[in-house]
Structure 1
Amino acid sequence: MEDKCRVLMRALDTLDDVFYVYDADGRLAYWNTRLNELFDKTDEELDGMTPTEFFVAEDRPDVEAALADIFERGWTIVEARAETTEGPVTFELSGQLLTDEDGTVLGFSGTGRDVTERMEREWHLERQNDRLTEFADLLAHDLRTPLAVASGHLELAAEASPSEHVESAKEGLERLEAIIDDIRTATREGTLATDEETVDVAAVARAAWNHVETGGAVLEPPPPILIDADEKRLLRLFENVFANAVKHGPADGERVTVRVEATPEGFAIEDDGRGIDPEDREWVFDPGASRADDGTGFGLYIVRAIAEAHGWGVSVTDGTGGGARVEFDLDADTTGQ
């Protein structure tokens, strides 16, 4: 038994994370050598220390609250900063209550993981998204004034002398308006936090279908599919996928049929239109990507942004009827994207 314990401690000493065990009084009882290295303390100095002693004063209240969580509900996760031999480090700290067979509290164990780089990446990404959103708002504001003036003059020109050229110019300005709206949406949908609740995908799909110019297209009655999602965002997602399916309908002019179905991973939206070529599937979610002359190129990009805001994965494959199939994986890990 003694040999097994020695092997276990040697194994813990190989970890990059800090491992610790505190007793029922909240005093440090066991740890791996990573803790010695990071805080330049001997075993004698570490023995009996309290958790808050390792962290900067501003974060100690959060650590104390996390300790209370451990003894009240049995576990916790908290982030706290510390000055270490490797410089300032942000730790993600876990804690799990330890009890014996009769329920007596023995203490708690956990790990401290260095998440400094991840926090910095998230901070820079948040600032980048803020700047992008601000730029999109300014761009929309600055463009809409001359667009409104141009539209007014075109209306007068159309009244004075109707022509195909005037109508074409009006359509071009309307497309610019659509592009501006989609750019603003694209910069917001993936960055704003979602307000999730249990929603029925079928109800959202039916509502979205009524918001899209579907022409002769048909939506098969979708089955009930309950998921946790932001209903407004999900509505926009369905509107964009439906609009894309209708726009890229069958090449022979036949009406397109769209259906929604549950999958083991989440749900899928499928049509029997022309589909998407395999070599195009890598970029169809990129901003500005469009195969249609009157497309803005932001429809599927917004779909991906909304999906990733929920933590979902999204991909395109072949539909069973020869068209396109957009699949949503609700359990995908999108943190590395």
Structure 2
Amino acid sequence: MEDRCRVLAAALETVDDVFYVYDADGQLAYWNARLNELFDMTDGDLSGADPPEFFVEDDRPAVEAAIEEMFDSGQTTVEARAETTEGVVTFELSGRLLTADDGTVQGFSGVGRDITDRLEREWHLQRQNERLTEFADLLAHDLRTPLAVTSGHLELAARELSAERIEAARDGLGRLEAIIDDMRTATREGALAVDEQTIDIADAATTAWNHVETGNAVLEPLPSILVEADIERLLRLFENVFANAVTHGPERDECPSDEGSDADTPGVAVRVVPTPEGFAVEDDGRGIDPDEREWVFEPGASRAADGTGFGLYIVRAIAEAHGWTVRVTAGEQGGARFEFDVAADTAC
């Protein structure tokens, strides 16, 4: 029996979960080493500790209520956050009452499991479902206008055989196709990044630049920045940010030359730079008004006559799928600067 107890105790020391036993007075009586590691406390510090004192103040009432429930029903489960050596951790705490053969309560035992990552995945899935609901509402609104315009032009074209009206109908259909494509992309990207690998930002950005109609815009030389990312989604992120920069670059009437061909017209300059939190993409175009810097990430937001309004929304969806955040500020040359914080992920 003594050997079996030693084996059991040794086994409990190998698990990542916290195992604990409290006596009948609610004082900590036994625990595995995982508890010492997470709270950087000695056995002397832990002995006799009350359950709620391990957790953040806001969650202590829930822990106390769970203990009361356990003494009433014999078992309980509760979630609570704690500040540990590994940061703020959310634990799923289970407890079962310990009784003697005669029914006398001897205390309770349980397991504290780190569910922080699971909760983060659930948050991402919830965000995805919220986006799908948004798309359902936006679909009817955004498709109704181009469909109505197209239908009207086609009706007139059928009677007049006007090449101008037929071309207008084609434009309407093209815009409709672009909206559908962006909405499908946004739905697809609004999920977890499932195929992450170490990627050099310089390679991904260069490839994405070649996928975009950039005209006379220039992508400046890129530094090497390593991140853990899904390559297909990262390419789409850069394509959309670059397309936004090119679309909102200098207007023709802002250019100094009144002569020459389009090849002489200066284009926007785009650069990708490392930051302490990850990386940023900035340009020297017209920038984004401070009052609109949150609005531009909303679905359907666009100032361009032929824009679908989903480009930057997709950018934010992809960033969040990786556990990143994105914000827009002013660039050094007065243009737009999109800053990506990958600290929650792995930046090298």
TM over 0.5: yes
Work out whether 1:39 is the aligned partner of 2:70.
no
1:1-337 paired onto structure 2 within 5 Å: 22=31, 30=47, 32-34=49-51, 37=64, 38-40=66-68, 80=92, 82=94, 93=113, 126=125, 129-130=128-129, 133=132, 161=161, 163-251=163-251, 252-253=254-255, 254-331=266-343
Q: Distance in 2 between matches of 1:222 and 1:122?
A: 32
Q: Distance in 2 between matches of 1:308 and 1:330?
A: 10
Q: Distance in 1 between matches of 2:270 and 2:181?
A: 26
Match of 2:107 in 1: none
**Secondary structure of the structure 1 residue equivalent to 2:338:** strand
Paired residue type of 2:243: A
Paired residue type of 2:67: F
Cα distance, 1:235 vs structure 2: 0.3
Q: Distance in 2 between matches of 1:161 and 1:130?
A: 46
Asked if the contact 1:22/1:30 (under 8 Å) is kept, the reply is no
Asked if the contact 2:124/2:192 (under 8 Å) is kept, the reply is no
Asked if the contact 2:76/2:96 (under 8 Å) is kept, the reply is no
Unaligned runs of 5+ in 2: 1-26, 36-42, 53-62, 78-88, 98-109, 256-265
Q: Distance in 2 between matches of 1:161 and 1:275?
A: 43
Asked if the contact 2:95/2:111 (under 8 Å) is kept, the reply is no
Measured at CA, do residues 91 and 283 of structure 1 come closer, stay the same or move farther in structure 2, by a change above 3 Å? farther
Q: Distance in 1 between matches of 2:311 and 2:29?
A: 49
Paired residue type of 2:202: A
Match of 2:21 in 1: none
Paired residue type of 2:191: T
Unaligned runs of 5+ in 1: 1-17, 46-52, 57-76, 95-112
Asked if the contact 1:222/1:260 (under 8 Å) is kept, the reply is yes
Asked if the contact 1:78/1:92 (under 8 Å) is kept, the reply is no
Q: Distance in 2 between matches of 1:275 and 1:255?
A: 14
**Secondary structure of the structure 2 residue equivalent to 1:284:** helix
Measured at CA, do residues 22 and 208 of structure 1 come closer, stay the same or move farther in structure 2, by a change above 3 Å? same
Paired residue type of 2:273: E
The superposition leaves residues 153-193 of structure 1 with CA deviations (integer Å, 9 ceiling, x where unpaired) of 96xx69x9452221122111111111112122223313234
The superposition leaves residues 276-333 of structure 1 with CA deviations (integer Å, 9 ceiling, x where unpaired) of 1111112111111111111111111111111111111211111112211111111159
Cα distance, 1:227 vs structure 2: 1.1
Asked if the contact 1:79/1:91 (under 8 Å) is kept, the reply is no
Cα distance, 1:78 vs structure 2: 9.3
Q: Distance in 2 between matches of 1:19 and 1:248?
A: 63
Q: Distance in 2 between matches of 1:20 and 1:302?
A: 52
Asked if the contact 2:192/2:322 (under 8 Å) is kept, the reply is no
Asked if the contact 1:268/1:325 (under 8 Å) is kept, the reply is yes
Cα distance, 1:275 vs structure 2: 0.7
Asked if the contact 2:94/2:112 (under 8 Å) is kept, the reply is no
**Higher mean Cα deviation, 223-232 or 235-244?**
223-232
Q: Distance in 2 between matches of 1:163 and 1:194?
A: 48
Asked if the contact 1:275/1:318 (under 8 Å) is kept, the reply is yes
Measured at CA, do residues 265 and 215 of structure 1 come closer, stay the same or move farther in structure 2, by a change above 3 Å? same
The superposition leaves residues 113-158 of structure 1 with CA deviations (integer Å, 9 ceiling, x where unpaired) of 9x8xx95x97587367348549959998xx8xx98xx79x96xx69
Match of 1:74 in 2: none
Measured at CA, do residues 224 and 124 of structure 1 come closer, stay the same or move farther in structure 2, by a change above 3 Å? closer
Cα distance, 1:255 vs structure 2: 1.0
Cα distance, 1:30 vs structure 2: 3.9
Paired residue type of 2:163: S
**Secondary structure of the structure 1 residue equivalent to 2:273:** strand
Paired residue type of 1:294: D
The superposition leaves residues 46-97 of structure 1 with CA deviations (integer Å, 9 ceiling, x where unpaired) of xxxxxxx9678xxxxxxxxxxxxxxxxxxxx896564789xxxx98535xxx
**Secondary structure of the structure 2 residue equivalent to 1:32:** coil
Cα distance, 1:33 vs structure 2: 3.0
**TM-score, scaled relative to structure 2:** 0.59
Match of 1:110 in 2: none
% of aligned pairs identical? Answer: 55
**Secondary structure of the structure 2 residue equivalent to 1:267:** strand
**Secondary structure of the structure 2 residue equivalent to 1:176:** helix
Q: Distance in 2 between matches of 1:197 and 1:34?
A: 41
